[in-house]
Amino acid sequence: MAKYDVVFFDLDGTLVDTAPDLAYALNQVLEEQGKHPLPYEAIRAVASHGSAGLLGLAFGIRPDDAEYASLQERFIAIYQANLTRASTLFPGMESVIDALEKSGIPWGVITNKPAYLTDPLMAGLGLNSRAACIVSGDTTANSKPHPEPMLHACKLTEADPAQCLYIGDAQRDIEAGRNANMHTIVACYGYLGDHDKPESWQADAMIQHPSELSQWI
């Protein structure tokens, strides 16, 4: 059984199931624009790709399109007002966190979500005081898949990257972890789409449920 200096988690789709609130906000914007809401499962599959992915799915637009900025502003406003409306830890994740804390292994979050959304979400779920560090998408100059946020998290926790484990549900998560010389695990229970091929991401392992992390910690 491996023991790591620190275990780091991606946030959306790995540690916390935020898709219900992201879907709520996106469908509210669609309805305001006179469009039909999208099925939850369609939204869930792209929930890890931020507002660009979600608005692209809903409206077929890109960040450089003229209407993108106003739609993004409205989407973020609704989401920000509903951060913990239905978002919760994934089933079994509370036990994982408890096991880490009882074993004296610090855990943290490394996400591409901006801090103005990450911090109140973590606080609303009572996780901010438990995490050894929280690195958001705008904490460092570069975000995942760049290794900078990973290395910054290691600096904050005084850990050797080679002795750390990172769990994420997107290819950029695994790339970032590998770029930082961390051990990596794909959270296949997260927000993977039909076109994702996690077996090609070169992670150390893939898990179907948070409870499988017990053999790693």
Q: Which of 12, 17, 21, 173 is catalytic?
A: 12
Residues 93 and 198 in one domain: yes
Question: Could you confirm whether 12 is annotated as catalytic?
Answer: yes
Do 155 and 187 belong together in one domain? Answer: yes
Rounded to the nearest integer, the mean pLDDT of the chain is: 96
**Residue 1: pLDDT over 70:** no
- For residues 73 and 37, membership in a common domain is answered with yes
Q: Are residues 47 and 98 in the same domain?
A: no
Same domain, 110 and 211: yes
Cα–Cα distance, 113 to 170 (Å, whole number): 13
Residue-level pLDDT at 3: 82
- Element spanning 207, H or E: strand 205-207
The answer, yes or no, to whether residue 18 has pLDDT greater than 50, is yes
- Give residue-wise pLDDT tens across range 173-214: 999 999 999 999 999 999 999 999 999 999 999 999 999 998
Q: How far apart are the C-alpha atoms of 99 and 102, rounded to whole Å?
A: 5
pLDDT, tens digit, for every residue of 137-170? 999 999 999 999 999 999 999 999 999 999 999 9
Beta-strand (E) ranges in 10-160? 16-17, 88-89, 107-110, 133-135
Kindly report the backbone phi and psi dihedral angles of residue 41, in degrees, each rounded to the nearest multiple of 5, phi listed first: -60, -35
pLDDT at residue 17 greater than cutoff 80: yes
Name the catalytic one among 5, 10, 119, 160: 10
Q: What is the CATH number of the domain that holds 176?
A: 3.40.50.1000
- What is the distance between the alpha carbons of residues 148 and 154, in angstroms, rounded to a whole number? 10
Choose the final residue of a domain: 80, 99, 122: 80
| Domain-embedded: residue 1 | no
Q: Structurally, how many domains does the chain consist of?
A: 2
Residue 184 is predicted with a pLDDT of 98
Tokens encoding 86: 């239905």
Catalytic site includes residue 138: no
